[in-house]
Amino acid sequence: MNQTSDNLKAYPVWDASVRWFHWINVLTILGLIAVGTVILYGKEIGVSAEGKVLLKTLHVYIGYLFCLNLSWRLIMAFVAKNPFSRWSSILPAGAGFSGRLREYVSGTRAGYAPAYLGHNPVARLMLALLYSLLLIMAVTGLILAGTDVYMPPFGALFADWVTGGDAEKLAQLLPGSKEFVDMQLYTEMRAFRKPFISGHYYGFFVLLAAVILHVAAVVIAELREKNGLVSAMFSGSKVFSEKPVDLEK
C-alpha cells in the first residue's frame, strides 16, 4: 500500500497478468466485432465470395488469439496467488453474496456505496454475464472455423465429413466452394452447423449490448466513487480514503 496526497491510500489490486488479459481481450473483441460485422453484411457491402473466405480466415486468426487469452484467464482464476484474480473474487456467489448485493445497491441509491477494492457485487453479476458470453462466442466460433473454412481445431473432421473421407476430394477441397463435396453429406454438416451459427449470431448482439453496458457502468462507478477504477486497469492500483470493505476478507 502506498501513501498518496491527503489521506488517500493506493492499494494494489490487478496484477500484470490481469491487466494484459483485459487489454488483449478488448483489442481482440474489437477486431472480431469489426471483421464479424463485415462478414455479416458482406452481401450488402458487395464482398466477393473469395473476399468472404479471406475475412472469415482473418476473423478466425484473431479468434485464436482471443481464445488463447481467454483460456489463460480462466486457468489463472484457479491458480493465481492474488486473491482478487481468483474465481472467489469474480463469481456472483458464495456466503453472504445476496446481502452484500442488497447493501451495495441500497448504498449506491443513498449516495454512499461501500468501497470495494476488487469487484463490487453488481460488477460480479456483469462479469458472470460477460464471461458466459465470451465462452459461448469462443466455443461456437471454434466449431464454425471448422465448418466454414476447415480450420483447426475441428476443420479436418468437417472436411472428412463433407467429402466422405475421399482422399482425392479432400486434397482439392476449398473453403467456400461446394465443388469437391458430397452434397448429401454437406447438407447434413450444414444442419449440424445451424445451432452454432445461431448461437454465434445472437451471442454477438447480446455481447455487443453487454459490452456497452459494462463500459457505461464503469464510467458511472468511476464518476460516483472516484477510486481510480479506469486507471487501475493500467496502473494496477485503486485509491481510497478509507479501508475497502473487501480487504483482508
Three-class secondary structure of residue 12 per DSSP: strand
- The yes or no reply on residue 141 touching ligand HEM (CB under 6 A) is yes
Three-class secondary structure of residue 164 per DSSP: coil
First to last CA, the chain: 16
Name which of 113 and 149 has its Cβ closer to ligand HEM.
149
- The yes or no reply on residue 148 touching ligand HEM (CB under 6 A) is yes
Q: How many residues bind ligand HEM (CB under 6 A)?
A: 27
- The yes or no reply on residue 200 touching ligand HEM (CB under 6 A) is yes
Alpha carbon distance 163, 184 (integer Å):
10
Alpha carbon distance 25, 13 (integer Å):
19
20, 64, 72, 131: residue in contact with ligand HEM (rule CB under 6 A): 64
Give the H/E segment covering residue 235: helix 229-235
Residues 214 and 130: beta-carbon distance below 8 Å: yes
What minimum distance in Å lies between the beta carbon of 21 and ligand HEM? 14
Q: Closest by alpha carbon to 157, among 132, 127, 192? A: 192
- The yes or no reply on residue 73 touching ligand HEM (CB under 6 A) is no
Q: Closest by alpha carbon to 23, among 233, 163, 242? A: 233
What minimum distance in Å lies between the beta carbon of 78 and ligand HEM? 21
Residues 204 and 36: beta-carbon distance below 8 Å: yes
Side chain identity at residue 231, one-letter code: S
Stretch that binds ligand HEM, among 159-167, 199-207, 224-232, 239-247 (CB under 6 A): 199-207
13, 18, 36, 124: residue in contact with ligand HEM (rule CB under 6 A): 36
Q: Which CA distances in Å does 23 have to 111, 174, 218?
A: 31, 35, 15
18, 130, 136, 145: residue in contact with ligand HEM (rule CB under 6 A): 145
Name which of 51 and 236 has its Cβ closer to ligand HEM.
51
Name which of 20 and 64 has its Cβ closer to ligand HEM.
64
Chain residues that interact with ligand HEM, rule: CB under 6 A: 29, 32-33, 36-37, 39-40, 56, 59-60, 63-64, 66-67, 137-138, 141-142, 144-145, 148-149, 197, 200-201, 204, 207
